[in-house]
């Protein structure tokens, strides 16, 4: 039994090493000069250079993009959590036909491809003058991720005893107070999951900001990196330094929170 576990460990580590090959290429190439890349593409950088990083940072204008991505992601998350938990509380507790119909209507949004509404939405956003604005993106993400958020919250609230809130209401609290003071704090585990899943999606989304923010000066990280890569396409060292810098914030957050992230992903989806 012991030796079998040991053998499995060796196999799994070998798999992990193979799995990491693209990451190895990413990091080593970003630390190499163009000469090293063409002459010794697979070896370790010798000597390593950080020139690619300084150049990529300024050429890709990652500083401003970092701020744009952060503003859009944080504001969308706040709206998603506030509106989503609020709506889910009604949907989970009501026994009316209206409530059930609404729940199904929300779930529809998980399956519906966004491309179906892509062009009408583009018209709407541009009619409202929201192209190239943070507000437009925040409203977009709040709407698009609402079904998934409500799905997660509703499942969790259904499993929660009703008595906490009704006790508060007997003591004279309104629905609103009972929710904010009693129910919402109980939702902490699922709020964590909602936060993580939506943060990863919004931070990494590429297509929508390309469409709505492209050329506005308010681009998010994936769009800036995309434009940067297009510009320096043949210079792998520089491009990869840009990729490392672009992915670093979310990967760093992941590494710090990895325990909760992995747990949140699985338990949240398991419902």
Number of residues this chain uses to bind another protein (CB under 8 A):
95
For residue 148, state whether it binds another protein (rule: CB under 8 A): no
Q: How many CA atoms lie within 13 A of 70 on its CB side?
A: 9
- The piece of 49-57, 58-66, 167-175, 186-194 that touches another protein (CB under 8 A) is 167-175
In the region spanning residues 207 to 226, those forming contacts with another protein, defined by CB under 8 A, are 207, 221-222, 225-226
Nearer to another protein (CB atom), residue 218 or residue 226 = 226
The Cα–Cα gap between 244 and 246 comes to 5
Answer whether 116's CB lies under 8 Å from 234's CB.
Answer: no
Q: Which strand (E) or helix (H) includes residue 117?
A: helix 115-127
Report in angstroms the alpha-carbon separations of 229 from 63, 129, 239, 240, 242.
16, 29, 6, 9, 8
Answer whether 72's CB lies under 8 Å from 144's CB.
Answer: no
For residue 165, state whether it binds another protein (rule: CB under 8 A): yes
The Cα–Cα gap between 210 and 193 comes to 27
The Cα–Cα gap between 182 and 186 comes to 7
For residue 151, state whether it binds another protein (rule: CB under 8 A): no
Answer whether 75's CB lies under 8 Å from 220's CB.
Answer: no
Nearer to another protein (CB atom), residue 35 or residue 163 = 163
Using CB under 8 A, pick the residue from 117, 129, 215, 217 that binds another protein.
Answer: 117
In the region spanning residues 17 to 46, those forming contacts with another protein, defined by CB under 8 A, are 19-22, 25-26, 29, 41-42
Q: Which strand (E) or helix (H) includes residue 185?
A: helix 184-186
CA 37 from centre of chain: 33
How many Cβ atoms from other residues are within 10 Å of residue 137's Cβ?
Answer: 27
Answer whether 227's CB lies under 8 Å from 75's CB.
Answer: no
Q: Least distance to another protein from the beta carbon of 202, Å?
A: 11
Using CB under 8 A, pick the residue from 63, 170, 217, 231 that binds another protein.
Answer: 170
For residue 237, state whether it binds another protein (rule: CB under 8 A): no
For residue 3, state whether it binds another protein (rule: CB under 8 A): no
Q: Least distance to another protein from the beta carbon of 225, Å?
A: 6
Q: Least distance to another protein from the beta carbon of 192, Å?
A: 15
- The piece of 45-53, 54-62, 184-192, 256-264 that touches another protein (CB under 8 A) is 256-264
For residue 131, state whether it binds another protein (rule: CB under 8 A): no
- The piece of 47-55, 60-68, 186-194, 239-247 that touches another protein (CB under 8 A) is 239-247
Q: Least distance to another protein from the beta carbon of 199, Å?
A: 9
């Amino acid at each position: 039994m012991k030796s079998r576990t040991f053998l499995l460990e060796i196999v799994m580590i070998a798999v992990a090493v193979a799995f990491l090959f693209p990451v190895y290429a990413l990091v080593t190439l970003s630390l190499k000069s163009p000469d090293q890349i063409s002459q010794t593409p697979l070896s370790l950088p010798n000597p390593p250079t950080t020139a690619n990083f300084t150049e990529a940072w300024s050429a890709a204008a990652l500083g401003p993009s970092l701020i744009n991505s952060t503003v859009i992601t944080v504001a969308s998350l706040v709206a998603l959590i506030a509106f989503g938990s609020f709506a889910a509380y009604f949907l989970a507790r009501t026994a009316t036909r209206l409530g059930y119909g609404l729940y199904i209507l929300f779930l529809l949004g998980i399956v519906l491809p966004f491309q179906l509404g892509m062009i009408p939405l583009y018209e709407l956003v541009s009619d409202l003058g929201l192209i190239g604005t943070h507000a437009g993106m925040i409203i977009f993400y709040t709407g698009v991720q609402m079904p998934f958020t409500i799905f997660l919250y509703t499942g969790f609230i259904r499993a929660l005893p009703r008595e906490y809130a009704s006790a508060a209401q007997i003591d004279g609290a309104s629905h609103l107070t009972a929710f904010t003071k009693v129910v919402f704090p109980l939702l902490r585990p699922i709020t964590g999951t909602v936060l993580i899943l939506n943060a990863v999606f919004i931070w990494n989304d590429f297509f929508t900001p390309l469409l709505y923010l492209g050329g506005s000066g308010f681009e998010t990280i994936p769009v800036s990196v995309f434009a940067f890569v297009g510009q320096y396409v043949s210079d792998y060292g520089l491009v990869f330094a840009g990729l490392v810098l672009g992915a670093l914030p979310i990967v760093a957050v992941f590494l710090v929170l990895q325990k909760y992230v992995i747990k949140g992903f699985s338990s949240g989806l398991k419902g």
